[in-house]
Amino acid sequence: MNRKTAQVSSGLLAAVAAAIWAVPFAWMAVASLRPGVPPDIAALWPHGELGLGNYVDAWQSGDFPTWYINTVLVCAGILAVQLVTITMAGYAFARMRFRGRDTLFVLFLVQLLLVPTLLIAPNLTTIVTLGLYDRLAGIMAPYFASAFGVFLMRQAFRAIPRDFEEAAMLDGAGLFALIRHVLIPLARPSLVAFAIVSVTFHWNEFLWPLMAVSSPNKQVLTVGLASFASGSEAGGEWGVLAAGTVLVAGPLLLLFLLFQRRFVSSFMFSGLKG
């Protein structure tokens, strides 16, 4: 087999594998547009009667407005606090020398492995003690500090030439003015990368939001989808289930397709870890 045929056949193999990867999405899109319970509900090509009836049913059987608002609030709240904490700590690790810095850095490292999801049992006790149980703030609190974010910002600040800061300092800028007006604008790409990873993670998170709140009006999209899905599965309403899944996963999928390059480079960042 020469090089050319090897190239073509491996390309064919990759195309088939990628197509298999896309099947659940294709089914989701097609089934969501086919109202009722067609016998060939597994069809991957839209045919027969098409319409938005499944979306209407899904919207009415779940509390989507509340779930959207809560999810946006949780993602925005976590991100807002994270951006402050990681910028401050990232600067300290990038530019300052102080006793115990390296030990502290290792202590930060611990969080990379011991993700809060693993510590759901003790964290539940903590938010109950703090009076945050059944509040959106309780869902957010474990994520306010981000070791990954701190490393990302430390790298970003290190890449900025010191001359910028020295010039600003000579102009009499204080530390916080320096960070806000000089360093943050220069580190914006890293902040955007972090924001994309953070929002994707928290939009999609399930187990912790499930444990941290109990009132229906505090639920986020993933928790809502879980209860919604078990209902429509029990009723065999697969088209409604597909529509509900589109409503939950759609916003991020759309953003991804629009800003693909940004997303991909951000996720590549997320593996660098420092």
Site for other proteins in 207-266 (CB under 8 A): 207, 210-211, 221-222, 225-226, 229-230, 233, 238, 241-242, 244-245, 248-249, 252-253, 256-257, 260, 263-264
Residues 51-70 that bind other proteins (CB under 8 A): none
Residue 244 C-beta: closest distance to other proteins, Å: 8
Task: Pick from 5, 45, 96, 185 the residue near other proteins by CB under 8 A.
Answer: 96
Nearer to other proteins, 1 or 185 (CB): 1
* C-alpha closest to that of 248 among 23, 36, 28, 27: 28
Residue 166 C-beta: closest distance to other proteins, Å: 7
* Residue 121 makes contact with other proteins by CB under 8 A: yes
* Residue 110 makes contact with other proteins by CB under 8 A: yes
Residues in the interface with other proteins (CB under 8 A) total: 96
* Residue 126 makes contact with other proteins by CB under 8 A: yes
Distance CA 248, CA 158 (A): 38
Residues 158-187 that bind other proteins (CB under 8 A): 162, 166, 169, 175
* Residue 267 makes contact with other proteins by CB under 8 A: yes
Task: Pick from 111, 134, 231, 262 the residue near other proteins by CB under 8 A.
Answer: 111
Distance CA 46, CA 148 (A): 43
* Residue 58 structure tokens: 């899904």
Q: What is the DSSP string of 54-115?
A: HHHHHHHHTTHHHHHHHHHHHHHHHHHHHHHHHHHHHHHHHH---TTHHHHHHHHHHHHHS-
CB 111 within 8 A of CB 147: yes
* C-alpha closest to that of 89 among 46, 30, 164, 147: 147
Task: Pick from 52, 60, 76, 101 the residue near other proteins by CB under 8 A.
Answer: 101
Distance CA 267, CA 22 (A): 20
Alpha carbon 149 to chain centroid, angstroms: 13
